[in-house]
Amino acid sequence: MDKSKMNEKFTKKINGWFIDPQIFTYKFICNCPGECCHYGVFTDLKEYQTILSIKDKVIKNMDETQSKNVDEWFEEQAEDDDFESGIAVGTEVINNKCTFLDKNGLCTLQKIALIEGEYKWKYKPLYCILFPLTTFEGALTIDIEHIERLPYCNVDPNTHLTMFEACEEELKHFFGEDGFAELRNYREEYLNEIKFGVNEDVTK
């Protein structure tokens, strides 16, 4: 992974990840019924293996718009250093939606966790949880390109929420409580720097 560009661009690191400060200023609201799930997602090899280990439960909770043939669920594995294990596996798109999205717009993996009374994101791939946040070249950043490709994503231009505020739960999941507290402190520092002109707000 070439992290040199990010090293030059960002200064703050939490839990080993550089922080793109745009998350403190970029306006965002999540208010559509899951358009991002229509394109599938890249899972880490370990997440892929976890999903296969519960395949019987997954099949049981699928509906007629989903394929119950396990061989149709994933694309070929590919090397990718942005993933923890170094291997990414994409979910297939079936009937114009991720193979795990049911006809009611629910993620089957999340549905299973809820049915079992488990943590809701127990089986859900990290990049599904994070979007529109993502990781790139060693930094936690915003997948602006993908947001802009999705006509129903972030459609309220008057929202006052920032990505940080809209995705607090996701950020806590990613960084843990201590890491999130550090992120909140960094936000205060960064916003003060913008206020006093030390830093430029690049989202304007």
Binding site for ligand SF4 (CB under 6 A): 30-32, 34-37, 40-41, 91, 98, 100-101, 107, 109, 124-125, 128, 131-132, 150, 152-154
**What is the SS3 assignment for 193?**
helix
Q: 162 near 25, Cβ under 8 Å?
A: yes
- Nearer to ligand SF4 by Cβ, of 32 and 191: the residue is 32
Cα–Cα nearest to 129, from 147, 109, 112:
109
Q: 166 near 27, Cβ under 8 Å?
A: no
- Nearer to ligand SF4 by Cβ, of 6 and 126: the residue is 126
Q: Report the distance separating Cα 30 and Cα 155, nearest Å.
A: 8
Least CB distance from residue 133 to ligand SF4, whole Å?
Answer: 10
Least CB distance from residue 38 to ligand SF4, whole Å?
Answer: 8
- Nearer to ligand SF4 by Cβ, of 93 and 191: the residue is 93
Q: 174 near 134, Cβ under 8 Å?
A: no
Least CB distance from residue 137 to ligand SF4, whole Å?
Answer: 22
Map tokens 């193979």 to a residue. Answer: 99
- Nearer to ligand SF4 by Cβ, of 89 and 101: the residue is 101
Least CB distance from residue 138 to ligand SF4, whole Å?
Answer: 23
Ramachandran area for residue 176 (φ above 0: left; ψ -120 to 50: alpha; else beta): left
Least CB distance from residue 28 to ligand SF4, whole Å?
Answer: 8
- Nearer to ligand SF4 by Cβ, of 147 and 191: the residue is 147
